[in-house]
Amino acid sequence: MKYQRVSVNDAKQLLEEKSATLIDIRDEQSFQASHITDSQHIDNHSVADFMEAADKNLPLIVCCYHGNSSQSAAQFFAEQSFVEVYSLDGGFEAWQSTFPEHCSR
């Protein structure tokens, strides 16, 4: 399995149309400071619980700071039997500059 890269505009459409799951792999402090509305924070301590509870048939979008770390994380999830996995191009920074109204604190 291989992940795909997705633009912030296409990711927003996936979230609206397909009930995609959005995970944020940035550090806890950055996530607490601001994050994409309805995203889940995932780190090394919570990844096993997330994988156990997640619907692997729903699209999964992985978000990091700038879209670099999310690529290797997306590949990891694709290898864990998630059917449709995306890495968010530009990461949280691109999302925040495009859709600031869809960010939470």
Between CA 90 and CA 80 the distance in angstroms is 24
Q: Are 103 and 36 in contact (CB under 8 A)?
A: yes
Active-site residue, selected from the candidate residues 22, 62, 64, 88: 64
| Per-residue tokens: 22 | 């959005």
How many CB atoms within 10 Å of residue 82? 23
What whole-number distance in Å separates Cα of residue 100 and Cα of residue 103?
6
64 catalytic? Reply is: yes
d(CA 32, CA 29): 5
**Residues labelled catalytic:** 64
